[in-house]
Amino acid sequence: MTPPSRRTMLRGLALATAAATMTIPHPAVATTAAGFSPAGFTPPLRQMRGMWIASVLNINWPSRPGLTPDQQKAEYLAWLDLAQVRRLNAVFVQIRPTADAFWPSPYEPWSQYLTGTQGQDPGYDPLAFVVEETHKRGLTFHAWFNPYRVSMQADPANLHPDHPGRRHPDWIVSYGGKLYYNPGMPEVRAFVQDAMMDAINRYEIDGLHFDDYFYPVNTPAFDDSAAFAKHGQDFPDLAAWRRNNVDLLVQEMQERVRRSKPEVAWGISPSGIWRNKATDPLGSDTSGGQSYDNLHADTRGWVKKGWLDYIAPQIYWYIGQSNADYAKLIPWWSDVASGTGVQLWIGQAAYKAGAAGQPAPWQMPDELTRHLTLNRDHPQVGGDVWFSASDVRDDRLGTVTKVVADHYGRPALNPLLPRLAGGRPPRRPSLTHARVNAGGVEVRGVATGRDLPFQFAIYRLDRRATPEDFTHAAHLVAVVPGGRHLRYTDPEGTRGARYHVTAIDRAGRQSTPSREARAH
């Protein structure tokens, strides 16, 4: 049996996080290039370095319901501080955990995880705040949605009186002590898409993200028999119909995102096993729970059909695990993604590293860093997302610190989606000077286009640059928030160093480099 997935860890994580403190050292805005790269390894220019910030059950943020707006804001800023300390470049924030909202939604009530009472206005717009503050740090913001979960308890009477589940009781299925929207009803599928697209359309969000929750189980005990009788006549069995319902959600979400906000990245973080080889010759050499069968999620099919911009499978197992070996799943997923145009990012189990009760490999300080070392042999892997923020903070056994030292020694730009690579890049910025001062070398520049860049990338060389130097991160010293003006001090700069700056837009496109400025 596979180890507990993210879903079975939720309540324990919530309790642990509520008890933890939020003391994070406040970093400089820039992500600097302290550290070094192993011999023979060229650090990638682009790499997803994200962490999940969960709101359901107040796992990460807010740490408990009923905090004042100022307290909630301070907690979120501390998570951004953490992201910068760990040299991450993206956050995945859960803003619709249980058919509710972290923004003033016309579709669903305010989330109970804000105030303790579903439907109660928290006194500010949390989504507007977190998007703005994330962008101020030069980080990208991925809005994390759960499409079908309605409540973590089973009584519809406990929902807000105006909740869609109260107004449409036929939409609701009770199973396992929780409430779900029925994925087999076309009107439900259209509604949840509308509810999520409201946030995408109204806010400057960089990504739309689902986790691994679709159907909760493969059994008729999840009673959707009436919907199956009405809509399932063209399918050989209940499982095939359910799988088609999830397929339609995925395909339609892609169409709606690209039609409305084509530069928004759309992706899913499913359970790490599609099917086992013993079940299907196309499956992985594993013997764990199968998302295709258990959750009706054809994750491999979505990638092969190009319905996603990225997939981030939760490969929450250690290297050498007998039933689900990380070292076997990475090449399997790499082969699935190869040639599809779908980015592959890996969901990493920071919550297992050093945790009580986990097997011996998770008690080794180097288990997670070994994962990223293995990833280097598979060029399809474009980075990692860490679950969850509290574990990235707690850094048991120093496991996260070791990952940062071994793999994040250089900054990294966010991945560029292949479908956006051909778009117009930002205008080349002007680098006005590079001047030695007491803190290192102060670099100043200015954006030249009408559209202000999202970020500036600063390169330092000890010789004249070649075009190749801007295709990797060996000379990248900092990625800083954009705007009209650039002002940054490179603490490792010395007299005579040669600097160039590029502008980066929200999609991740990079301008041609500025003219050289030599430090003097």
CA distance 444 to 434: 7
Q: Identify the residue whose tokens are 């396992």.
A: 176
Q: What percent of the chain has pLDDT over 90?
A: 91
Looking at the DSSP bridge assignments, the partners of residue 499 are 460, 517
User: How far from each other are the two terminal CA atoms of the chain, in whole angstroms?
Assistant: 63
As to burial, measured by CB atoms within 10 angstroms (0-12 exposed, 13-18 middle, 19+ buried), residue 236 is exposed
What is the b/e burial string over 10-22, where b = at least 16 CB atoms within 10 angstroms of the residue's CB? beebbebbeeeeb
- Weakest mean pLDDT among 210-219, 268-277, 356-365: 210-219
Quick one: pLDDT at residue 213?
Answer: 85
pLDDT at 391 over 60: yes
Quick one: pLDDT at residue 41?
Answer: 82
Q: Where are the beta strands (DSSP E) in 223-342?
A: 265-268, 310-311
Quick one: pLDDT at residue 248?
Answer: 98
Quick one: pLDDT at residue 22?
Answer: 38
CA distance 151 to 148: 9
Using DSSP's 3-state secondary structure scheme, residue 385 falls into: strand
Contacts of 247 (CB under 8 A, 6+ apart): 298, 301, 302
8 A C-beta contact, residue 230 and residue 245: no
Residue 520's nearest CA partner among 435, 461, 432, 433 is 435
pLDDT at 9 over 80: no
pLDDT tens, position by position, 36-62: 445 568 999 999 999 999 999 999 999
Instruction: Give the torsion through C-alpha atoms of 190, 195, 200, 201, to 10 deg.
Output: 80
Split at pLDDT 50, 70, 90, the class of 461 is very high
Mean pLDDT of 370-375: 98
Looking at the DSSP bridge assignments, the partners of residue 181 are 172
Quick one: pLDDT at residue 212?
Answer: 85
pLDDT tens, position by position, 184-201: 999 999 999 999 999 999
8 A C-beta contact, residue 155 and residue 162: no
Split at pLDDT 50, 70, 90, the class of 401 is very high
Residue 418's nearest CA partner among 46, 42, 44 is 46
pLDDT at 4 over 70: no
DSSP conformational letter for 17: H
pLDDT tens, position by position, 308-345: 999 999 999 999 999 999 999 999 999 999 999 999 99
Paired tokens of 56: 């359901």
501's enclosing H/E stretch is: strand 498-504
Mean pLDDT of 14-35: 39
Contacts of 422 (CB under 8 A, 6+ apart): none
Paired tokens of 113: 């995880």
pLDDT at 18 over 90: no
Residue 472's nearest CA partner among 423, 411, 514 is 411
Split at pLDDT 50, 70, 90, the class of 32 is very low
Paired tokens of 277: 């080889």
Contacts of 248 (CB under 8 A, 6+ apart): 189
Question: Residue 518: what are its φ and ψ, rounded to 5°?
Answer: -95, 135
Quick one: pLDDT at residue 16?
Answer: 41
Residue 259 CA to its chain's centroid (Å): 22
Mean pLDDT of 78-100: 98
Quick one: pLDDT at residue 38?
Answer: 53
CA-to-CA dists, residue 44 to 91, 269, 315, 407, 510, angstroms: 20, 23, 22, 10, 14
Quick one: pLDDT at residue 30?
Answer: 43
Mean pLDDT of 103-108: 98
Split at pLDDT 50, 70, 90, the class of 34 is very low
Paired tokens of 253: 């979400």
Paired tokens of 309: 């911009």
CA distance 415 to 421: 10
Split at pLDDT 50, 70, 90, the class of 449 is confident
pLDDT at 27 over 70: no
Residue 123's nearest CA partner among 160, 75, 72 is 72
CA distance 423 to 509: 8
8 A C-beta contact, residue 431 and residue 445: yes
> Before 62, cis peptide (omega within 30)?
yes
Q: Could you tell me the pTM of the whole model? A: 0.94
pLDDT tens, position by position, 417-428: 999 999 999 999
Q: Identify the residue whose tokens are 């679709």.
A: 214
Quick one: pLDDT at residue 39?
Answer: 56
Neighbours of 352 (CB within 10 A): 25
CA distance 107 to 192: 9
DSSP conformational letter for 58: G
Mean pLDDT of 477-488: 97
